[in-house]
A and B are shown apart, each in its own frame.
Chain A
Amino acid sequence: MTGRRVLAMAVTAAVAAGCLVACGGDDSAGSDAKAELQIWVRKPPGSNTEKTDQQLAAAFTAKTGVPTKVTALFDDFETKLQQAAAQKRLPDIVINDTDRLGGLVKQGLVREVDRQSIAGQADLTPASWSAATGADGKIYGVPFSAQSFALFLRKDWREKLGLPVPKSWADLDALAKAFTTGDPDGNGKADTYGYVVPASTKRGYTSWYFASFLFSAGGDFLTGTTGKLTPAIDSPQALAATTEFQKQFCTDKSVVPGSVTAETTQAHPLFETGKGGIYLTGPYNMARFDKNLGKEKYEVVALPPGPGGTSVSLAEGENVYLMAGSANPEGQNRFATYAVSPEGQTLGMAGDTDGNVVRLPVNSKVDMAAVRKDTRWQLFAGIYQNGARYVPVVPDWTPFRQSSADTLNALVADCSQDPKAALAELAKTFSDELTKQGAKG
């Protein structure tokens, strides 16, 4: 009996010890210039854009000898980054939206970039550098890609109804109403609509969509200089844009049903399957829509001037963020240098294919027309150069985008809400947030 008990004890001890060994982590990390760079990109796994990122990293490795590993994540990218941060196991490089900079800086997840350490930095456009600059004037990323937004219109529908390309917001609304009531697809059913709008609050999509309309109406989210900002979202111009936005949903009813809970992944199919005929979106969708809808069925035009008299697109893009705690800071700099070089940018543009990760190049030495034969890209480049506007520089833009998305979503979901009162309330929220972030004028 005793012998059996001893044996049982020995077995259980062995199992427990085995588990302890198996459960134990390895916290050791290299600290040399040849340590592998973990690169996270916000791209759908398996997509052509991920393949381009893989090629970019492979070309970098071939050139420098620094090993790399690319991980593509799309859904809940920020969540996964937060989880990695909580474990203090951040990747070395993250390529993500420019407007994520503030949040990353606030939490100390990115390190400051010495601009002089990036070879060829003077060739990058000043606007792109400003999108990598924090509220404290320091640089926390290296610009990688830029983009502007334009209207995608169902050309075949417009021509069937005999309407011109819209030159004003009134023209645009008339087109949207005609798409809704005029049976542009000719199937005899009232199953088509004007606008496709990703009006969900997720990631602040409503605010993201609305920004170009706000700027074109002569309005803005905030006014003043960095560090001395005040809310501008309750201005008459902002009210005009907001009233117009609400009208499309509530009075004209020219927006595709289901939009108030739709995010971009749900909105794209609404355009390409013929539910809606007007979609303000980025150039990255052209390859997708060419394939799924047909290049000949739609046209890309700049947003018509709003009440402000101008057409101003939201400017966005992506930065290469050099994450904190890396074992290979020199490798981080070398990767960023390569990614923004003419060679890296050309590779990232991926010609006219849907694998483009560089939408518009940030390196002025790159001739986009030599890489892309599709002239529609020139339209987006022109819109970007003609005063496309980034969101205001604050320590963390996320709360502003989220609260404005919440307000706008409420206005279009509940048509009884008064835009003026809602914007006044939003301005107060902005004011409180500016105070909290120490950026109020």
Chain B
Amino acid sequence: MTTTLAAPPDRVRAAPAARRRKLSTNTSAWLWLAPALILFALFKFVPMARAISMSFQEVRPYLGDRWVGLDNYRTVLGDEAFRAAAGHTVVLALGETLGSIVVGLALALLLEGTARHLWFVRTVVFLPTVTAMAVVAALWRILYYPAPDGALNSVLGWIGLGPGQYLDSPHTSLWSVMAVGIWRGAPYDMMIFIAGLAGVDRTLYEAAAADGAGPLRRLWHVAFPAMRAVFGIVLTLAAIRGLRVFTEIFLLTNGGPNGSTEVVMTLVYKLGLERNELGVASAGSMLLLVATVGLTLLAQLLRRRS
């Protein structure tokens, strides 16, 4: 038997043409992508690269930056306030993630369906997510007003409790901020869960019901397994949102009282823009970026394994 490695003559002629076509298609695709890539480069990648370089320098825009190596990282990691802020960030991220998922799922189960009035109710429930954070913060500051005649305290007073200090006590401030985060984040998760629930094959519910499964068992053994991917997405998004929490803290407490709500982002903001330590702030940002990327990769890994 003899074999030949030579391609048929017509294929030999066709190969350069195919390559040209592929090259042309690729070039066209890249050119169409170019505007987005340029914008990304200008507003994401270049600033990110600059932040990495700043984290190794003492930043003085008009006097010239000074190379300080890992000093900024040592300063950040050796700073008790940063470690406390990292702890608060983790607690807040965990609390807001789990709280938003539980409440979001409960809302999704309540509001899933095709009835026409549900569209209106879902829109109303979704409003906190699309309302500007400044408005949300102002509203919650009023609700949380810590005097006996405050809105929440008046309600507590009816049942003989309170008055609570909420944002004004270092013992309750983190939980109070977390409640606002959950209130705002849960409807977002709800929408994703509703989309997930809509994708579950209805015949499976019917089959399970025929087998005698009640509502809870149908939920546990049919709906949840079918929504595994949705849980993965919600968990990842909520965790990243929790780690990068800034606006609600900045507007509600600015990290106080007594540093009880200080998180990494607010500390980085203060270091960089209030105390002019841009290099140290960049190092803190890099550590947060590493944590966020690590968390995302971990979530992806767990999702693939499952």
Interface residues of A, Cβ cutoff 8 Å to B: 5, 8-9, 12-13, 15-16, 19-20, 23, 76, 78-79, 82, 85-86, 88, 103, 106-109, 189-191, 200-203, 257-261, 263, 266, 324-325, 396, 398-399, 402, 406, 409-410, 412-414, 417
**Known contacts A191-B147, A324-B62; is-contact A78 B259 (Cβ 8 Å):** no
Provide the residues of chain B in CB contact with A23, threshold 8 Å: 38-39, 42
Query: B157 an interface residue at 8 Å Cβ cutoff?
Result: no
> Given contacts A324-B62, A413-B169, are A19 and B38 in contact (CB under 8 A)?
yes
B33 to chain A, nearest CB (A): 9
Judge if B61 is at the interface, Cβ distance under 8 Å.
yes
Contact present for A396 and B276 (CB under 8 Å): yes
State A190–B38 Cα separation when bound (angstroms): 61
Q: Which of A16, A20, A85, A409 contacts B62 (CB 8 A)?
A: A85
* Closest B residue, CB atoms, query A106: B276
**With a CB–CB cut-off of 8 A, which chain B residues contact A15?**
31-32, 34-35
- Are B34 and A107 in contact, CB atoms less than 8 angstroms apart? no
- B218 at the A interface (CB under 8 A): no
CB-contacts of B11-43 with A (<8 A): 24, 27-28, 31-32, 34-35, 38-39, 42
B95 at the interface (CB under 8 A from A): no
Cα distance A23–B34 when bound, in Å? 12
Determine the chain A residues whose CB is within 8 A of the CB of B273 once the complex forms. Answer: 76, 78-79, 82
> Do A413 and B258 touch across chains, with their CB atoms under 8 A apart?
yes
**B169 A109 Cβ-Cβ under 8 A:** no
Q: CA A283 – CA B15 in complex, angstroms?
A: 83
A289 to B24: give the CA distance in the assembly, Å: 70
Assess the A108–B61 pair: CB atoms within 8 A.
yes
Q: Determine the distance from Cα of A418 to Cα of B24 in the docked complex, in whole angstroms.
A: 74
B149 within 8 A of A: yes
- B residues sitting closer than 8 Å to A (CB atoms) are 24, 27-28, 31-32, 34-35, 38-39, 42, 60-63, 141, 145-150, 165, 167-170, 173, 252-260, 269-270, 272-276, 278
Given contacts A9-B24, A261-B252, A398-B276, 9 further A-B contacts (CB under 8 A): A9-B27, A82-B278, A103-B276, A107-B62, A203-B274, A257-B165, A261-B254, A410-B258, A414-B170
Given A109-B61, A257-B168, A258-B168, A200–B254 Cβ distance below 8 Å? yes
Q: Contacts of A325 on B, CB cut-off 8 Å?
A: 62
How far is the CB of B133 from the nearest CB of chain A, in Å? 14
Partner of B146, one of A103, A258, A412: A258
Please judge, given known A-B contacts A86-B61, A108-B60, whether A201 and B34 are in contact too, CB under 8 Å. Answer: no
Contact B149 A191 (CB under 8 A): yes
Contacts of A261 in B (CB 8 A): 167-168, 173, 252-254, 256-257
A105 to chain B, nearest CB (A): 10
Contacts of B31 in A (CB 8 A): 9, 12-13, 15-16
In the assembled complex, which residues on chain B have CB atoms less than 8 Å from the CB atom of A399? 275
Known: A258-B145, A396-B276, A398-B275. A202 touches B254 (CB 8 A): yes
CA of A414 to CA of B147, assembled, Å: 17
**Cβ–Cβ < 8 Å partners of B28 in chain A:** 5, 8-9, 12
Contact A260–B24 (Cβ < 8 Å): no
A179 to chain B, nearest CB (A): 14
A249 to chain B, nearest CB (A): 10
Instruction: State the CA gap A259–B169 with chains docked (Å).
Output: 11
Q: How far is the CA of A76 from the CA of B246 in the complex (A)?
A: 15
Closest chain A residue, CB of each to CB of B25: A5
Chain A residues positioned under 8 Å from B61 (CB to CB): 85-86, 88, 107-109
Top 3 A-B residue pairs of the complex, sorted by shortest distance between their CB atoms: A413-B257, A108-B63, A108-B62
Q: Are A260 and B168 interface neighbours, CB within 8 A? A: yes
- In this complex, which of A19, A86, A88, A257 has the most chain B Cβ atoms within 10 angstroms of its Cβ? A257
A201 touches B272 (CB 8 A): no
The answer to whether A189 and B38 touch across the interface, beta carbons within 8 angstroms, is no
A304 CA to B147 CA in the complex, in Å?
A: 29
Chain A contacts of B260 at CB under 8 A? 413
**Contact (Cβ within 8 A) A263 B168:** no
24 contacts between A and B (CB under 8 A): A12-B32, A16-B31, A16-B34, A23-B39, A78-B273, A79-B273, A82-B273, A85-B61, A85-B62, A86-B61, A86-B278, A103-B276, A107-B60, A200-B254, A203-B274, A257-B165, A258-B168, A398-B274, A398-B275, A398-B276, A402-B274, A410-B257, A413-B169, A417-B258
Question: In the complex, which residues of chain B have a beta carbon less than 8 angstroms from the beta carbon of A190?
Answer: 148
**B284 to A: closest C-beta gap in Å:** 15
Q: How far is the CA of A13 from the CA of B259 in the complex (A)?
A: 54
B254 & A260 in contact (Cβ 8 Å cutoff): no
Asked if A109 meets B62 with Cβ closer than 8 Å, knowing A9-B28, A79-B273, A413-B168, the reply is yes
B256 pairs with A20, CB closer than 8 A: no
**B50 CB, min distance to chain A CBs, angstroms:** 8
Closest Cβ neighbor of A405 among chain B residues: B256
**What CA separation (Å) do A224 and B167 show in the bound complex?**
39
A15 to B170, CA, bound (A): 55
| Assembly CA distance A413 to B172 (angstroms) | 11
Among B60, B146, B274: residue with most chain A CB under 10 A: B274
